Every structure is written in structure tokens, then in C-alpha cells.
Chains A and B, each alone.
Chain A
Amino acid sequence: MTAPATTPATTGTRPRHLLDFADWTPERLTALLDNADTMNQVLDRPVRKVPALQGLTVCTAFFENSTRTRVSFELAARRMSADVVSFAAGASSLNKGESLGDTVEVLTAYKVDAFVVRHPASGAAHLVARYSGKPVINAGDGRRAHPTQALLDAYTIRQEFGSLSGKTVAIVGDIRHSRVARSNAELLPKLGARVRLCGPATLLPAGLAALPGVTLTTDPREAVRGAHAVMALRLQQERMSGGYLASLAEYADHYQVNGRLLREAEPGAIVLHPGPMNRDLEISSDVADGERSRILRQVEHGQAVRMSVLYHLLVGRE
């Protein structure tokens, strides 16, 4: 009823942060993806560097390990001539007294111009935005959101089919714990695609059916039928101890993205995975390495998309 304004994200018309896609219009998202095309061209040049962010400092604040995402962001920032400073801490070390608010205030005092935040708690990126007052890019917060991953997924699908409009994307796996699934379920319908979320009932929270353009099914064949893109999610092995699954074998038998399941998909459908993969668990090796796989392409696109996001938030001319 009287929740404080959480983030100043809606000042003016241009979002100040990329925390999730709530403040982002389809037009602005399309501009982001268009701009990623330009960045992709930069990455094809012999000298992969432009001066766009010269003199600016980007802080990657990772309260949870993620080498890949971090390397991708740091390269993206450096290729645009930004200075990069890294802060890494287990979130647990913060529990020994210093609040997230205090940590962020200290980092802000170093006079950085933007934060890239990864944190195990949903909503932590929102808190960093509130405490720092600086532009914040969410690089994954708990189960909540991983918007640059969803953008690179959208970019990859768009590059394949020209547009997201009217396309169907099936996301198969541990939906409950997946920020990638949530971000895609938020983003892709904004760009005109339908999203089907699929997993065992214990990993498929019914509440997500409330999202526009999103349907839920526990039947992978139904999810994949006629889909243009099929995304397998990483299955964290610790879900076994949480009691969500009876056995990995049963899971793989029913939910693995493999050649048999893909026969249900649209001819020409592509396969995505946010990585890192458990080969032959959530995805079969032949599919992961096969002609439909765009998994390495996703990694390439990640850099271009992150360059585009940094440019949008720090320079902002579209």
C-alpha cells in the first residue's frame, strides 16, 4: 500500500537500470537488440575496441561465483574502453555484520559509474540500485532475473528467424529455481513470442501462469510441439537433496532435450542452453553439439548484447 519507491528506474522515459524488464517497452528492447547488431560488427573487426565508454568506470560486484558471466561483462565493458573494477565476495561473508546497504555505499564511494551485480538473493540488484543511486545491470539475482541472458537468448532467436513475433519458445527444466526462465518469460512475450514453461510439477510453480503470454505444462512433448526454439535449463544436482526429484535418471528419461523430443519441434527449430551444461542430463550431447544447437552462438551474442546494454545505460543515445 505504501511501499517506498523502489528504484528510480522510471525517471523520464529511459530506464536508468536493467534490473528486470518491468520498465522496458518493446520499442526500447528492440532498440537494444538492434544496437547489439552494431556491437557484433565491432567484435568482427581486427581491432575490437571503441571509445564509447572512455573515462567511465564499471564495477562488477559479484556476491556469487560466476566466471562466465563476469568475463562476458568485463570484456564488454573493456571493448568499449571503460575501466573495470571487480568486487567479489561470498554473500555469506557479508552476514558477519556488514549489510548489503553498507557494502554498496562503500563501493559507491569509490566513484564508479555503474554496477553489474550478481547476488544469490532475489531483489538484491534492486537494493543495490536504491543504495547506490548509480545505474545497475542485474547479472543474476537469486531466482528472480537474469535480463542480459534473456536478451542474448532473444537476440539469438531473432538472428535465426528475423523476428520474435509469433514464435514459440519452449523452456524445459527446473523452472522453479531459474532466473533465466523468469527473465525469458518476462521478455519474450514483450517481443511478440509465446513462452511455454515445462518441467516436473515439483519444479514448475503454478503462480507463473499469471504472466502474460506464458503457459505451463508438465508434458515436454506438448511444450516442444511446434516450437521454434527449445531451451534446456541446467539442473542443479542439489535439487535431489531438496526432495524435488526422485532420481536424475527418471528426470533425464522424461525431460531431457534430445533428438527424440526435438522431432516434435518446428523443422528448423534451434536449441539453446544458458550454460554450463550437464551433458546427457538435461540435454543430450548429440543435440548440444548438433546442427540445431546455437549454444556457442549464445555466448558470442552475450558480449554484444552486454555492450549494447552498457551503451544504453551509460551513453544512452539510441
Chain B
Amino acid sequence: MDACIQGTEMKQLTITNIKRPGSDGLESVTVENGVITGWNLPHQGDVIDGRGGTVAPAFIEPHAHLREPGQTQKEDLASGLAAAAAGGYGTVVSMPNTSPVVDDPATVRALIEKADGLGLARLRPAAALTRGQNGEHLAELAYLREAGAVMFTDDGRTSEDARVLRLGLEYAHSLGMVVSVHAEDASLRAGGVMNEGPVSEALGLPGNPAAAEAARVARDLEIVAQTGARLHVQHLSTARALELVRGAKARGLPVTCEVCPHHLLLTDEALRSFDALYKVAPPLRTQKDADALLSGLLDGTVDCLATDHAPHTRAEKERDLLEAPFGIAYIEIAFPLMWTHFGERLGLGRLLDLMTAAPAHVLGWPAPTLEPGSPADLVVLDLDTGREVNPAGFLSKAKFSPWAGETLRGWPTLTVVGGRVAFRR
């Protein structure tokens, strides 16, 4: 610790007793000035015992709602980025649908500056594609990029005007930036609060049909084909929309997509509880859809995982299903959930890839590695010890979870961001 406390330039750290994926030998890694300096070198600086955990590049969350500015009763940068660090994430892409909307360079700069001072996960804001996310007039995408925005999206809303989306895709593409879309046709979705099907009809709840997602994905893929501009499709939930993306990739279109763990783990049957915890957008679908999404993760159609961390207050989520807001928050347990439930099917290598190199690729960043010279963004994972989910201990402000009490494996024990400890269990 001394080197750090004295505020010298020499910030050093050594993590001992860790395994690299695919290897059983215990090793140590040394870090200096935010960069990995080497493996199994003489210890330097603060020494942390990795307790036999598996080390990986820290995760990248391409889709989170941190609610700052303006909705800090739900979450703020400090709670959201602490929760992310506890989940093993070193970098979080925040969505711009805050109050006000993140559509100007000053706000982007202010958010990054504030987050940098927290010493938690690193913030990389997405900015609005259109002013105020009004869907009509492009935001100042070039200025926003210069300020540090890493993605453009009107997420939180849907891009109803196809021409505006087309223009945004073209302009963003010329800047080397990716646009992401919440792909749902708002008119088909109408007032749906859950997947449309036998369950919604039995429960008497307005349904959101799978066609709302598929129709919008089909439209947007045609725009990609027309323009050749990069598009990232957020949180795919239906087998049909996934099939459309698969076809587009086969045609060579520059499209990527993400899937959320909750769409793999939960189905519309969960709504039989009438618990608004399960009210998410896009909605929980059927087991058939969940199976298709998992196949997409296995065959590479799905590029990366995202949690769509969308915290709300308990009071908001205790409203009835018509009134409660959409969203679920579990960034702290995303890896344990995936590892416990799908570790065998996916394998450790693919799962880590889906949470590190894959989201980096979506964002146009170099793939994070553990090689000397790489940024020291690291996570140490305890892949074996079972531990109960205890939402009361969440660092997020949303201290409730569908998985409360469930025993999971794969808990992060240490998250290092830029060579500094951002979380330690």
C-alpha cells in the first residue's frame, strides 16, 4: 500500500495464488501504473492473495442503466459502479435515458470525470442518438464522441422513425461508432406488459407479441443492408429475431447482438406470481425462445452478454403489473448466474469471452488480455464455492432479486480496475 498512499507515480500491486483459465498452476501477476507488467515476477507493491481463484480480464457491461443524472433514487454512479465492480465488471457502458437525457458533450464529460473519481468500475457512457431521445433530430454525434461517448442509442425508447435511424447509422458509422437499438415496434407492442401468449391470456395481462421484436429487427437489418453501417441489436428475446440476425450475419451484414441472462433463465411463466420483479422490456418469453437464445450463444450468432441493469425502487416494483416500471437489476450476480446455470454448456472460455472480448469487439475496442502491457483490469473468480444470493447485501440500490436465496458458484472475489482494487470480497 505504501507506494499508493505516498501518491508516487509507482502504483504497484501483486496478486498471488491465481490460475489462468485452462491452467491449474498457481501463478502471480504484477501490475504497475495500471498496466500488467508480467507473470510470476518478484512481488512488488501491495500483495493480494488470490486464494486459488481464476483470473480473467475484468468484464465489460455493454448495457446498464445507472440512472444518473436525475433518477438517483433508483441508482447513481457510486452505487451502480460499485455493484458492477462487485460483479467483476471493470467497464460499464451507461445508457443515456436519464433525466435529462445524455445528449450533450458536457454531460458526457461530467459523468466520466465523476466516475473516474470513484475508483470503482470505469464508466464509458453511451449518448443519445437523437436530441432528448426524441427520435427526430440527430444529437451532436461528433462532439459526443470527442467528449468520450462510446456508443449511440435511443434505448429506453424505440427508434420509430426509420429514416432518422438510417441517418444516424450512416453518420455514426462515418465516425467509427456503433449505434445500438432497442428493437421493438412500439405500435405492435402497444400496452403489452409481458409476452403475448397463453400465459398472458390466462393471466389477463396485455401481451407484447414476439412479432413486435422480429418486425423491428427485420426493418433495421434492411437499413443496415442499405447503408452498410454498423448496428448492434440490444437484448434479443425471441427465437425469431435471433433467426433474422443469424441470416443477416450469413449475408455478411455488419450487425452484432446481445442477450441478457434473464432472458435465458426466466420465462413468461414467472409472471404467474404477478410480481413486477419480472416485468422487463423486452419481456420474458417462452422456454423455446430461451433455448434458442442459448443455442445462439453456442453457435456465435449472439455476440455478447449484457445484463441491461435497470434498477428501480422497491416501491416502484411493488406496484401492480400495469403501473410498475420495466426493468431488472442483477449485475452483481451475472457471472455467478451464468456460470452456475450454463457453465457446463458454454464452457469457461466461451463464457468469459462473452463478457470480455466479445463486448469489446461490439464497441470496437481491442480485446482485453492478461498479457504484459495490457491494462490491469482484472477479475478473480471463485468458480467452486457455493454462496447464497443475499439481495440485502447488494451494493446496487435495488436490493431485491428473483434469485434471492439461490446458491450460486463463480463469485468474483477481487476486481482490479486500472491497477487499483475496485472490489474485494
Contact = CB atoms under 8 A, between A and B. Distances in A.
Contacts of B275: 3-4, 6
B200 A207 contact: yes
Interface string B254-293: 0000000000011101101111001000000000000000
Interface in B172-219: 196-205, 207
B402 interface: yes
B204 A145 contact: yes
A126 B320 CA distance: 10
Interface string A157-184: 0000000000000000000000100100
A16 interface: no
Central interface residue in A6, A102, A121, A182, by most chain B CB within 10 Å: A121
Contacts of A8: none
B323 interface: yes
Interface stretch (A82-90, A93-101, A296-304): A93-101
Contacts, number: 99
Question: Which range contains the number of B residues in contact with the other chain?
Answer: 20 to 34
Interface in A10-32: none
Contacts of A211: 202
Given A3-B402, A123-B274, A100 B203 contact: no
A94 B319 CA distance: 9
A313 interface: no
Contacts of A126: 273-274
Given A95-B323, A143-B204, A2 B316 contact: no
B322 A121 contact: yes
B320 A207 contact: no
A134 B246 CA distance: 51
B204 A99 contact: no
A124 interface: yes
Contacts of A6: 272-275
A210 interface: yes
B85 to A, nearest CB: 25
Given A3-B270, A3-B273, A4-B275, A207 B318 contact: no
A226 interface: no
B264 to A, nearest CB: 10
Given A123-B205, A143-B205, A144-B203, A207 B319 contact: no
B54 to A, nearest CB: 26
Interface string B117-155: 000000000000000000000000000000000000000
Contacts of B322: 120-122, 142
Nearest to B196: A207
Contacts of B403: 2
A208 interface: yes
A312 interface: no
B318 A99 contact: yes
Contacts of B270: 1, 3
A192 interface: no
Interface in B304-349: 315-316, 318-323
Contacts of B315: 97-99, 101-102
A6 B277 CA distance: 12
A75 interface: no
B371 interface: no
B139 to A, nearest CB: 31
A182 B202 contact: yes
Given A101-B318, A121-B320, A207 B278 contact: no
Interface string A242-279: 00000000000000000000000000000000000000
Given A4-B275, A206-B201, A207-B199, 18 more contacts: A3-B275, A91-B323, A95-B323, A102-B315, A102-B318, A121-B320, A122-B205, A122-B322, A123-B274, A126-B274, A127-B320, A131-B318, A142-B204, A145-B204, A182-B202, A207-B197, A207-B201, A211-B202
Interface of A: 1-4, 6, 91, 94-95, 97-102, 119-124, 126-127, 131, 141-145, 179, 182, 205-208, 210-211
Interface of B: 196-205, 207, 265-267, 269-270, 272-275, 278, 315-316, 318-323, 402-404, 406
14 contacts: A1-B402, A2-B403, A3-B272, A3-B275, A99-B316, A101-B315, A121-B321, A121-B322, A142-B204, A143-B204, A145-B204, A179-B204, A207-B201, A210-B202
